[in-house]
Amino acid sequence: MSNARKLILITGGTGFIGNHTVSKFLSNGYRVRATVRNQDACDRLLSIHWRHRDLLETQIVADITRPGAFDTAVKDVDGIVHMASPFTDKITDNVKDLIVPAINGTKGILQSTVSFAPKVKRVVLTSSFASIADFSKGLRPGHVYEESQWSPLTYQGTKDGNRGLTYAGSKKLAEEAAWQFVETSPGVNFSLATINPTMVYGPAFPGSASLKHLGQSMSDIYALMDASLTEVPPTMLPAYVDVRDVARAHLLAFETDQPQRFLISAGDFDKQKVCDLLRDQIRELKSRVPVGNPGKPSVGEHYEVDCSRARSVLGIEFRSFNETFLDMGHAFMEIENAEKDSPL
């Protein structure tokens, strides 16, 4: 698919993955229309990506669950990357705050595409490893996860679960709804791909992050280096991928036409290994990062993640563990220094 000034709609472009994905499409010559929730987010996004200001426009979509929310945003676009989905600490109602926005937002943008975006031939949906994994079975030593597998979480189990299970279930239910829509709805003239990353780490896109408003994966790593911990926390999810590779996967998936799921993971993740790396390689952090048990993994044997489809179809290769977490550590220090020097 030629990128000759094609206009791509990216929802959720202000997030951790979203900012990198917006940048990736812009730097490859695409025009981008990014949806944002309010004018402040619009101004912030345009400021962050000022180098490509001539290729970037924004559209306010305050509530992605509203019927027809994306009807205007999809008009005249050539492709869609749908990343907008709730993942927040402020959950008071599992259905209202997570499940409904995830499912209805996904179905809504696909319906808007059918109704108002006849030029669109490709839609890429940001899903999750959570749509694939069966977390009820723990670390599952010897098991290999790949794209044909689905999380067994049901609507009821998602509705009644804790926050982690509810998030996982909402991603599964939203992706499932997307595939069902494409397979059964009349008028669909586009192919669908999903990106299913494991835990996403790496540096925030420059200018996009504040230490007071970090997402879950960012705050987990910053907690290792802000001198608040004396022990290394347990590793709950032992697989990771760099946010910059996730952004690139979205671009590569958009530029192929195969209707597939793409599981994205760079390899094993362990918080003890992160601490060892930061203490050893970044002198300023040596006294701030917990020591733990150097060289001894904090997680035992566990499942493997098979990314052979992404490697073969997308041609993607992944950044190393050291690159991801050293870049992340340095980026946090830059944010600290910038906020220290800020008069606000």
**What's residue 10's pLDDT?**
99
Cα(47)–Cα(229) distance, integer angstroms = 35
Structure tokens, 163: 């926050």
Structure tokens, 131: 């749509």
Q: What is the pLDDT along the chain (344 residues), one digit of tens a residue?
A: 456 689 999 999 999 999 999 999 999 999 999 999 999 999 999 999 999 999 999 999 999 989 999 999 999 999 999 999 765 656 788 888 889 889 999 999 999 999 999 999 999 999 999 999 999 999 999 999 999 999 999 988 888 877 778 888 999 999 999 999 999 999 999 999 999 999 999 999 999 999 998 988 999 999 999 999 999 999 999 999 999 999 999 999 999 999 999 999 999 999 999 999 999 999 999 999 999 999 999 899 999 999 999 999 999 999 999 999 999 999 999 999 999 876 55
pLDDT tens digit sequence for 74-122 = 999 999 999 997 656 567 888 888 898 899 999 999 999 999 999 999 9
Catalytic residues: 171
CATH class held by domain 7-203+241-265+304-318? alpha beta
**What's residue 343's pLDDT?**
59
| 149 Cα distance to chain centroid | 20
pLDDT tens digit sequence for 265-297 = 999 999 999 999 999 999 999 999 999 999 999
Residues in Cβ contact with 69 at an 8 Å cutoff, skipping those fewer than 6 apart: 61, 63, 105, 108, 109, 112
**What's residue 158's pLDDT?**
86
Q: Which of 325, 309, 305, 315 is nearest to 242 (CA)?
A: 325
What is the per-residue burial (b if ≥16 Cβ within 10 Å, else e) of 63-101? ebeeeebbbebbbebbbbbbbbbbbeeeeeebeebbbbb
Question: Domain extents for the chain?
Answer: 7-203+241-265+304-318
- The end-to-end CA distance of the chain, in Å, is 45
- Nearest-10 Cα torsion for 103, 109, 110, 115: 140
- Cβ proximity of 171 and 103 under 8 Å: no
Cα(106)–Cα(85) distance, integer angstroms = 8
**What's residue 342's pLDDT?**
66
Q: At what angle do helices 39-48 and 16-27 cross, to 10 degrees?
A: 50
- Cβ proximity of 60 and 38 under 8 Å: yes
Sheet of strand 191-197, all strands in order from the earlier edge strand to the far edge: 56-60, 31-36, 7-11, 79-82, 122-126, 191-197, 261-264
Structure tokens, 66: 């509203």
**What's residue 160's pLDDT?**
83
Q: At what angle do helices 321-341 and 271-281 cross, to 10 degrees?
A: 60
**What's residue 3's pLDDT?**
64
Residue with tokens 């697989």: 239
Structure tokens, 244: 């910059």
What is the per-residue burial (b if ≥16 Cβ within 10 Å, else e) of 162-201? eeebbbbbbbbbbbbbbeebbeeeeebebbbbbbbbbbbb
Structure tokens, 193: 């791909």
**What's residue 96's pLDDT?**
86
CA atoms within 13 A on the CB side of 329: 23
